Amino acid sequence: MYRAVTRNIQITVEAYYLAEESTPEDEQFFWAYTVSIENLSSDTIQLRSRHWHIIDANGNTQEVNGAGVVGEEPVIEPGGSFQYTSGCPLNTPSGIMTGNYRMQTEKGESFAVKIPAFSLDLPDMVKTVH
**Which tens digit of pLDDT belongs to each residue from 85-120?**
999 999 999 999 999 999 999 999 999 999 999 999
Position 127 confidence tier, pLDDT thresholds 50, 70, 90: low
Position 8 confidence tier, pLDDT thresholds 50, 70, 90: very high
**Which tens digit of pLDDT belongs to each residue from 37-87?**
999 999 999 999 999 999 999 999 999 999 999 999 999 999 999 999 999
Pairing of strands 45-56, 29-39: unpaired
On whether the CB atoms of residues 120 and 95 are closer than 8 A, the answer is yes
pLDDT for position 33: 97
Distance CA 111, CA 101 (A): 8
What is the sign of the dihedral through the CA atoms of 63, 69, 72 and 77? negative
Position 25 confidence tier, pLDDT thresholds 50, 70, 90: very high
Distance CA 8, CA 37 (A): 10
pLDDT for position 125: 60
Distance CA 15, CA 88 (A): 10
